[in-house]
Each structure stands twice: as C-alpha cells, then as structure tokens.
Amino acid sequence: MLEIYNSLTRFKETFKPLHEGHVGMYVCGPTVYGDAHLGHARPAITFDVLYRYLQYLGYKVRYVRNITDVGHLEHDADEGEDKIAKKARLEQLEPMEVVQYYTNRYHRDMAALNVLPPSIEPHASGHIIEQIAFVQKILDRGYAYVANGSVYMDVEKYAKDYPYGKLSGRNLHDIIAETRELDGQSEKKHSYDFALWKKAAPEHIMHWPSPWSEGFPGWHMECSTMGTKYLGEQFDIHGGGLDLIFPHHEAEIAQSCAALGKESVHYWMHNNMITIAGKKMGKSYNNFITLEQFFSGNHPLLSKAFGPMVIRFFILQAHYRSTVDFSSEALEAAEKGLQRLQEAYARLQKIQPSAVSSQPSDLRQRCQEAMDDDLNTPFVIAALFDSVKAINTVWDGKGAISEADLNELREVWKTYAIDILGLRLEETGNGDDSQQKAFHGAIDLLLGIRLQAKQNKDWATSDKIRNELTALGFQIKDTKDGFEWSI
Ligand code: ZN
C-alpha cells in the first residue's frame, strides 16, 4: 500500500517519483456548464506553479487535467439532473455545444491567468468505453453490484478489505452519519454506496449503451479511468481542491483498489478554498464572481476591474494549503504589491553595473528553500519584496551592484517571478502585448519631447505635457538619466 501525503514538505527530500526523471500528474479539471470563477482559478494556478517548478527541477512532466462533460449530477454528485444536460435543456442546445462553449471560455480565462495548458486534456465523454471496462473490472472482483440497470460500489464489502475513508480521515460510521437518504435511493444496498454506472432516465439526453443499461458513468469513474489510462496504473501526483477529498477522491481510491488491487496515486495534493467573508465561494452560496467579471469589474462586490495578473498574484500570496479570504480591498492591496514588483523588474533591466556590489543577495537561496518547502509561494514573494528594496537602493544611487551580481539577480527574478510563479511582470495593464507596447511607446515619445523642451528651456511645452499627463492620472518623476512614469 502506498503512503498518502497531503503535503510535500522539503520537496526535494520527500518527493520521489515512481520513474526517475519523469513525473505523472493528474488534476481534476472543471465541469464545463458555466464560466470559471475564482474558485476554479486557485487549483489551476496552484498546480500550474507545481508543473512549472517540476520542469524547472529538470523532470519531464506529463500533466493531465480533465474536462468533466458528463456524469456530474446536481446533488452529492450522484443524484439529480446532469449539470450539462440541464444547461443544454434550458438553453435548447446540444449538450456538446454547452461543453464546447464553456471549454473555450475556460481556455481563454486560463490563458489570461498565464496558466500553461496541460499535456493532455481528456474529456469524460470521450472515454466511455474505458470507463465501462473499469466498472466491469470492479464487478469481476466482487466489489460492485448491479441494481435495476445501474452499477453501485459495494462500500461495505470494500471497507472489509481496504481502508475506506483514509484520505479524508473518516470511517464508515462517520460516512453513514453524513449521507442523506434521498428518494430513489432504494435500489442501493446502502445510502453510502456510490454510482459507477447510472441507468439513464427517459428524459436524460446524454446516454451510451453498456452491458447493464443505456446510461452514463458515475462522476468519480472518469478520473480513475483517465488517470490510469494516460499515466499508468500507478502515478505520482493527483491534485485538486480540498472539497474534492470526499467523496470524489475517496471514491477514486476505492475504485482503483477495487479494480486493480492497489492504489493508483502516490501523492495527493489539495489546495484550500477561497472564501468571501469566511464563506466558501460557490454557486450554491450565490457569492461567486466569474473571472470575466473580475477582469471587467462588472460585479457589485468589486470596486473596479482587476487584471488577470492581479488575480494570480493575489492567489500566490497565500500558501496553497491556507484559505484565502476574498475582498475588493485585499485585491487592491495585491494590485499595489504587484505594481511594486513590476516597477522593480523594469528598473532591474535598466540599472547600470558598478565595479563592486554594496551588499550580497541571498535571493536565489531564499526562493529555492521556499519552493522546496511545500511550494511556499508567499515566502518567495517576501524574498522578492526584500530584493525590491535592494534594487531601489541601487536605482536611487545609494548602493551599487557589480556586473556579475546584476546578471545573477536578473536571472533569479526571471526564474522565480516569471518562469515559476508565472507572473507577467513586463505588463502593467489588461491589454494585449501589442497594445501595451504601442501605449508605452506613445507615453515615452511624449515624455521624450518634454525632455527636449526642457533642455531647450521651452517651459511652456514642458509644463503643458507634464500637467496634462498628471491630470490623466500619470505620475511623472524626473531622474538623473531622464524620466520615469507610472499610472
Ligand atoms: Zn476528478
């Protein structure tokens, strides 16, 4: 039996891949029946940083993140109407139109957040044959039963042979206590048995033939099937939000043990939740804000629009195992912090080296230690802020840095801030790259004209440009080499 880790403290010492030099990583992706919100951004960004970091360490990583497009029902994952089928019915669309529409929008939002695409993005509906075969294996090994065309996991039988509940720290007694008895559950032997295959009701529009009925797979089945299909019967890392531990991941462990006689996952990693005033963000709480609303500022809880990099930075300011409490004020603070990093990064590119450095930098070591310590991104950010102070000292002429140290510092910033944390520090707004470049070029041009006017003692032109840019919200600072501006 493999051990289960919820965290990888001292990453390099505790993380041992099953195959040297290679890492297989599976993360539960979205159910595509609505726009992605802040709660989707967190696992995507958390495991994006892990993906980037593993590659930086030299591993060849196969990263699988699925798209759930069938079988995720409205209540307790196992009961009620299929979420995608319901949306399709309400909007009079083909279910796959709903899937494609929201998948495209999910990709758009993830690209804006600078989340790298996974190596493989399998759809549940594209793996029905494999899921049927997986269910059959569980039936063959005696841990499931057929009732009225549906197949259910025989949890009581399974729990006699394997520790059901080990990931969530529950025992069968706890699980019985928290499982609701719903109408129509009578075909199950016990309320806590979960569906591996469901017979489709006549009004259910997404269904496939199987040995048991015309129906569809249970929600948990897709991840067991697609994880082992693409990463092998045993693989390194399985991630997702903390809310997936029970029942989803507990069910995945049970399915793998029941079908294969062993656990598939070596390390489980879970990111904590985002809350609004202490309450979990989610559709059921009616307090969710979509990423598009953040980017446009179009939501009553938001004071203004926040760019994708502000959202990414806000999430990385907390350790992935801590909760993050959202507020507009917290985002505004994150925006200011990100601007300081962007300003320092720009200065770092312009600084001129001296013969010797006035102070040594321990930035690389601090960033490395923080990442090795269970992906401690807030410590990496704290180290970067200390480096901002040092950069500004040199910028203001109160310190010096040698050419070798300057090159090293530029490289550490690029490695940790840009490549691993995935922050786009060259950008300062929401526009695309070409717009940004044109905008920056135009302001630099105006301020260049002002500089020339000043040198020609044409104070009227110089003051006019300065005052009008200031009125538009620009801050202009004269420096010994020319000028500097920010918004
Ligand atoms: Zn999953």
- C-alpha to C-alpha distances, 107 to 24, 44, 104, 111, 291, nearest whole angstrom: 22, 11, 5, 6, 12
Cα 113 to middle of ligand 1, angstroms:
22
Asked if residue 267 has pLDDT above 90, the reply is: yes
Cα 328 to middle of ligand 1, angstroms:
31
Comparing C-alpha atoms, which of 69, 25, 80 is closest to residue 47? 25
CA distance 382 to 360: 17
Task: Please state, for a pLDDT cut of 90, what percent of the chain lies above it.
Answer: 67
Res 259: pLDDT: 98
Asked if residue 482 has pLDDT above 90, the reply is: no
Bridge partner list, 77: 73
- Mean pLDDT, the chain, rounded, equals 90
Cα 211 to middle of ligand 1, angstroms:
24
Asked if residue 226 has pLDDT above 70, the reply is: yes
Cα 338 to middle of ligand 1, angstroms:
33
Which domains occur in the chain, in start order? 11-271 (3.40.50.620), 276-420 (1.10.730), 433-486 (no CATH)
Q: What is the mean pLDDT of residues 63-80?
A: 80
Asked if residue 56 has pLDDT above 70, the reply is: yes
Cα 345 to middle of ligand 1, angstroms:
38
Asked if residue 13 has pLDDT above 60, the reply is: yes
- C-alpha to C-alpha distances, 59 to 62, 179, 363, 422, 459, nearest whole angstrom: 9, 42, 23, 18, 59
Res 427: pLDDT: 65
Cα 127 to middle of ligand 1, angstroms:
14
Res 441: pLDDT: 83
Lowest mean pLDDT among 95-99, 185-189, 349-353, 411-415: 185-189
Q: What is the mean pLDDT of residues 90-117?
A: 95
Please enumerate in sequence order all residues whose Cβ is within 8 A of that of 308, keeping only pairs 6 or more positions apart, or say none.
109, 112, 113, 114, 291, 294, 295, 430
Cα 327 to middle of ligand 1, angstroms:
29
Res 285: pLDDT: 63
Cα 238 to middle of ligand 1, angstroms:
9
Cα 209 to middle of ligand 1, angstroms:
23
Cα 220 to middle of ligand 1, angstroms:
6
Cα 198 to middle of ligand 1, angstroms:
18
Q: What is the mean pLDDT of residues 22-34?
A: 94
Asked if residue 27 has pLDDT above 50, the reply is: yes
Res 431: pLDDT: 45
Task: pLDDT band for 1, please (50, 70, 90 cuts).
Answer: very low
- C-alpha to C-alpha distances, 65 to 25, 121, 169, 251, nearest whole angstrom: 8, 5, 26, 18
Cα 223 to middle of ligand 1, angstroms:
5
Cα 218 to middle of ligand 1, angstroms:
11
Asked if residue 10 has pLDDT above 80, the reply is: no
Cα 370 to middle of ligand 1, angstroms:
29
Cα 96 to middle of ligand 1, angstroms:
20
Res 279: pLDDT: 79
Residue pLDDT, tens place only, 391-401: 999 999 999 99
Choose between 118 and 445: higher pLDDT. Answer: 118
Cα 161 to middle of ligand 1, angstroms:
24
Cα 44 to middle of ligand 1, angstroms:
13
Cα 271 to middle of ligand 1, angstroms:
14
Cα 30 to middle of ligand 1, angstroms:
9
Choose between 188 and 484: higher pLDDT. Answer: 188
Choose between 145 and 192: higher pLDDT. Answer: 145
Cα 29 to middle of ligand 1, angstroms:
7
Res 75: pLDDT: 63
Cα 227 to middle of ligand 1, angstroms:
9
The torsion of the CA quartet 231, 237, 240, 245, rounded to 10 degrees, works out to: 100
Q: What is the mean pLDDT of residues 53-58?
A: 96
Q: What is the mean pLDDT of residues 180-187?
A: 61
Q: Which two three-digit tokens encode residue 207? A: 């269904």
Choose between 365 and 284: higher pLDDT. Answer: 365
| DSSP result, 426-472 | T--SSS-HHHHHHHHHHHHHHHHHHHHHHHTT-HHHHHHHHHHHHHT
Q: What is the mean pLDDT of residues 41-50?
A: 97
Cα 47 to middle of ligand 1, angstroms:
14
Res 2: pLDDT: 40
Cα 56 to middle of ligand 1, angstroms:
26
Query: What's the first-to-final CA gap in the chain, in angstroms?
Result: 57
CA distance 269 to 4: 9
Cα 78 to middle of ligand 1, angstroms:
14
Choose between 249 and 84: higher pLDDT. Answer: 249
Res 182: pLDDT: 56
Cα 375 to middle of ligand 1, angstroms:
22
Asked if residue 6 has pLDDT above 90, the reply is: no
Residue pLDDT, tens place only, 230-250: 999 999 999 999 999 999 999
Cα 124 to middle of ligand 1, angstroms:
10
Asked if residue 428 has pLDDT above 60, the reply is: no
Choose between 433 and 296: higher pLDDT. Answer: 296
Cα 197 to middle of ligand 1, angstroms:
16
